[in-house]
Amino acid sequence: MIELKHICKTFDSGGGEVEALKDVSLTIEKGEIYGIIGMSGAGKSTLVRCMNLLERPTSGEIWVNGQELEKMTPKELRRARGRGGGRRGPHRRTVYRQGPGRRAGRPLGDAVGAR
């Protein structure tokens, strides 16, 4: 299970602060699959990067399988990222290597290397 509790992420843009994520809370149960959609600049990538702590949220908590990620050592965090989840595996590399022209018009399962 993945649980986000009141996640906020603020960036300093030089001209002031920008709130990329504001009080985001959600729970994803084991076996559930979600997609993140939104307009450009809405914070989709920031959310995913915060979920796996590739980027630290300004505030809030991220729990995975009963463990708070912020309290893990770097070694524990690397191990947790390697087990189920995140942007990993050969299918990810295949999609990015093909480029948009080769992916266009193909069924999504083919584009991500599903069998």
Say if CB 95 and CB 111 are below 8 A apart. yes
Position with higher pLDDT, 39 vs 105: 39
Is residue 17 left, alpha or beta, with left meaning phi > 0 and alpha meaning psi from -120 to 50? beta
What's the pTM value of the predicted model, to 2 decimals?
0.65
Helix residue spans in 1-115 (DSSP H): 44-51, 74-82, 90-103, 108-111
pLDDT given at position 113 = 46
